[in-house]
Amino acid sequence: MKAKKIATIVLTALASALPVLSGVMKLSQNPEIVETLSKVGVGDYLVPLGLMEIGFTALFVYPKTMKIGFLFLTCYFAGALATELSHGTAFNAVLPLALIWIAAFLRDRSVFLPGKTAVQANA
């Protein structure tokens, strides 16, 4: 049980760190990020995209809003993946998306298995 708790904390931290760091890079107008996102047509929206990443991650980390944060992050990174696919760029959205899904599953299985409550899933 202790190993699962440690794994959950570590994966949640990793899953949360990636979008936050990406959001900070967007807010700081990192030249590489500006160039890459300008190529796919969203270079003018760096600040809103960065704020969304950080805000959605905050919702995901807080236990009471984890499910809505999970939904928002999944939608955000699915859109990022669709943009990457349509423009033939590297699939940078796959790793954060996978980590978010794994962390959400470990934290509360009722996100994926609606018949079980969080208490039943952890028992």
Element housing 22 (H / E)? helix 2-27
The pLDDT-based confidence of 1 (bands split at 50, 70, 90) is confident
- pLDDT (mean) for 117-121: 54
pLDDT of residue 90: 83
The pLDDT-based confidence of 113 (bands split at 50, 70, 90) is confident
Are 40 and 87 in contact, with CB atoms under 8 Å apart? Answer: yes
Mean pLDDT of the chain: 90
Mind listing the pLDDT tens digit for each residue in 29-88? Answer: 989 989 989 988 898 999 999 999 999 999 999 999 999 999 999 999 999 999 989 988
What's the Cα-to-Cα distance from 101 to each of 1, 17, 65, 96, rounded to whole Å? 20, 14, 15, 9
Q: What is the DSSP string of 98-121?
A: HHHHHHHHHH-GGGT-TTS-HHHH
What's the Cα-to-Cα distance from 17 to each of 44, 73, 88, rounded to whole Å? 24, 13, 26
